[in-house]
Structure 1
Amino acid sequence: MLDILLVTGSYVLVILIGSICSQSGFIASETKNVVSKMLFYITLPATVIYSFVGFEFDATLLIASAIGLASTLLGFFGTVLYTMKKSPEKRAFHTLLGYGYNVGCFALPFVSAQFGPAGVVAACMFDLGNCIMVSGGGYALTRAFILKKRTEGVLLSILRTLLKSPALDCYVVLILLSLAGLSVPASIGVLLEPLMHANSFLAMFMIGLAMEWKIDKGRLKEVLQCLCWRVFVAVVFCAIVYVFIPMAESVKVVTIVCMLAPIMSVGLVYVMWIDGDTKMAGFAISLSVAVSLVLMTTATMLLS
């Protein structure tokens, strides 16, 4: 348990450092744009590839992938429905942050410390379903249907956006290789390990740079509404998994922990790309980290 608290505490520390650097003017808040590109195009794809080192495909774990996809789809389309009366800008905030789980940067180290390599494999399989929406699917749908920013047909616009997501592209290629019985060599993992470790730092640091300590009541209401929806969806799916889904107990616990993870850090990147309210997004992600720390730790203590 001490290992879990230390890992999660280190994330909070990096967020605080980033926030202090931004608020004090030591580092310009605009630096988050540079950090976001490094995260999205370099460290996140490297983390995805690293997670497949020695990976052996297990068809039974596809249940975890299906749960990851189902929960993100419900989370996304639920936000589409409950925000119908809001402005496109506010709707985009919810449809970019109201679904999906920060597995690679947050849940994976948490699971690794508590459940070891077997838990990491289960978390990666959950992330296979999660990443379809997180690594570009939700952004593509938001851009096409909520903001109506498309220059060609809807399907072509969505496909073009998805293909521009390096992390999702890596997942697709690696899954195909796994189905063919191939895995990423250990030597590649050694080369990518520094980038993998840098991913969590950059993600949390970027959140700190974008974080706003003061937030008005209107924006706080939007943030709380977004977080309450996320927690509701997560709790419903956790209950379904725990009671009804036929999975090994260890995989079941890891799946539940992953569904209690915070808002994906790449959500802040998407908000930047649509010129949205990054201060509010940074605050929402930071608050979700605090909520998830409590929920993930509690679930691990009760179910392990």
Structure 2
Amino acid sequence: MVFKSGALLLVIIGAYLLKHLHIFGERDYKVAQGLVFNMTLPCAIIMSFATNKHDMRMLWIVLFGFICCLVPLFLVYFGSFRDEKQYRAFQMLNASGLNLGAFCLPVIQTFMGPSAGLPVIMMDIGNAMVATAGALTITRTLLHMDENFKALPLILRLRNIARDFLGSISFDIYMLMLVFMFAHITIPQPIVTLITPFANANAFCTMAMIGLMMEVPSVRKDRIELLKVIAWRAVFSVFIALGAWYLMPFPLHIREILTLAAFSPITIFSTKFTDSLTGNAKLAGFSLTATAVISLVAMTALHAVLPAA
């Protein structure tokens, strides 16, 4: 298990070093981003649905994921009132939300096999309802950061929000798989065979993307704000993990998966939204990388100490 997590960490470090050897450029992470969000992650989602039984009780995990993403967003809003507006936005966007599909899914499948992916995906369906677009809308509305958006007619605002959601292929696949689950539709085996190589590449591509995004911020205030986000996330992760372990009505192995998922890092969408609202791309990228390394260590340790199913 230590070697598995070490291999994932090695991919992050390797991609970071290759960037600093000028084999990759500063913006090449967008190529890896495109591969993950448009190819490997959607295929991994489909693969997990195709190779696991769909218990309708799993819908409780969707609700759990939604609450775990939405509630911290408002708690940080009230808890960060003394900070400057741009740093409040940074804290709200990065202290809330879980990087389940792009990070947690490949990590947990590396630890526990492909069958462990379905609970992560069900949790991410609820999480994604906020993280893929809702967090941006709520943050800029509460902090009054986008006068142009506020000036738009209601129908145009709703259309922009809908475009944010539907423009995410991963979110679209989540919704499609949910429809398949309700309709009891089985994914044909030839499709599973076709997407298997892409799904298997998800872990490597995700870790490489994180390594390519990594860059240490030079401003001291940025580093302080990152420490605040890490502190916020540590508190939220503990409460989410306790809720997953003691409250969720599922077998031991599913509760372990949800407990590990509670320690997921900052979402890719949060880094994108941070860049768009504050213009601080360097802080956004390093925040993801820093919390990804912390999450990898925490998830490895938890998997080692939690009771085996």
1:71 to 68, 83, 88: 68
Tell whether the 8 Å contact from 1:207 to 1:265 is kept in structure 2 after alignment. Answer: no
The letter for the 2-side match of 1:296 is M
In the alignment, is residue 192 of structure 1 matched against residue 190 of structure 2? no
In the alignment, is residue 81 of structure 1 matched against residue 68 of structure 2? no
Cα root mean square deviation, aligned = 2.5
Pair 1:92–1:189, CA change in 2 (3 A) = farther
1:160-208 superposed Cα distances (whole Å, 9 cap, x missing partner): 3212121111111210111000132232222222322333333322322
**Matches of 1:104 and 1:231, distance apart in 2:** 20
- Match of 2:221? 218
**Matches of 2:252 and 2:69, distance apart in 1:** 22
- Match of 1:259? 262
Tell whether the 8 Å contact from 1:101 to 1:264 is kept in structure 2 after alignment. Answer: yes
Please report how far the alpha carbon of residue 290 of structure 1 lies from its aligned counterpart in structure 2 after TM superposition: 2.2
**Matches of 1:294 and 1:49, distance apart in 2:** 27
Pair 1:272–1:42, CA change in 2 (3 A) = farther
Greater CA drift, 82-91 or 49-58: 82-91
**Matches of 1:54 and 1:27, distance apart in 2:** 36
Greater CA drift, 199-208 or 264-273: 264-273
- Match of 1:50? 47
The list of structure 1 runs, each at least 4 consecutive aligned residues, that deviate by more than 4 angstroms after superposition, is 143-146, 272-275
**Matches of 1:35 and 1:241, distance apart in 2:** 32
1:107-149 superposed Cα distances (whole Å, 9 cap, x missing partner): 2233334444543322222222222223333234445554325
Tell whether the 8 Å contact from 1:260 to 1:295 is kept in structure 2 after alignment. Answer: yes
In the alignment, is residue 131 of structure 1 matched against residue 128 of structure 2? yes
Tell whether the 8 Å contact from 2:275 to 2:284 is kept in structure 1 after alignment. Answer: no
**Matches of 1:192 and 1:177, distance apart in 2:** 17
2:302 to 273, 276, 299: 299
Secondary structure at the residue paired with 2:305? Answer: helix
The letter for the 2-side match of 1:15 is I
In the alignment, is residue 247 of structure 1 matched against residue 250 of structure 2? yes
1:28 to 25, 44, 49: 25
**Matches of 2:261 and 2:252, distance apart in 1:** 14
The TM-score with structure 2 as length reference comes to: 0.85
Pair 1:58–1:294, CA change in 2 (3 A) = same
- Alignment size in residue pairs: 301
Identity across the alignment (%): 26
**Matches of 1:105 and 1:259, distance apart in 2:** 14
Pair 1:88–1:192, CA change in 2 (3 A) = farther
1:288 to 283, 288, 291: 291
The letter for the 2-side match of 1:80 is Y
Tell whether the 8 Å contact from 1:92 to 1:142 is kept in structure 2 after alignment. Answer: yes
In the alignment, is residue 207 of structure 1 matched against residue 210 of structure 2? yes
**Matches of 2:216 and 2:208, distance apart in 1:** 15
1:64-83 superposed Cα distances (whole Å, 9 cap, x missing partner): 22221111112222233333
Greater CA drift, 290-299 or 165-174: 290-299
Greater CA drift, 4-13 or 228-237: 4-13
Pair 1:111–1:210, CA change in 2 (3 A) = closer
* Structure 1 unaligned spans of 5+: none
Pair 1:91–1:63, CA change in 2 (3 A) = same
Please report how far the alpha carbon of residue 298 of structure 1 lies from its aligned counterpart in structure 2 after TM superposition: 2.3
* Structure 2 unaligned spans of 5+: none
Greater CA drift, 143-152 or 241-250: 143-152
Tell whether the 8 Å contact from 1:96 to 1:139 is kept in structure 2 after alignment. Answer: yes
**Matches of 2:141 and 2:32, distance apart in 1:** 26
In the alignment, is residue 61 of structure 1 matched against residue 58 of structure 2? yes
Greater CA drift, 175-184 or 19-28: 19-28
**Matches of 2:117 and 2:236, distance apart in 1:** 23
Secondary structure at the residue paired with 2:50? Answer: coil
The letter for the 1-side match of 2:131 is V
Tell whether the 8 Å contact from 2:105 to 2:120 is kept in structure 1 after alignment. Answer: yes
Please report how far the alpha carbon of residue 258 of structure 1 lies from its aligned counterpart in structure 2 after TM superposition: 0.9
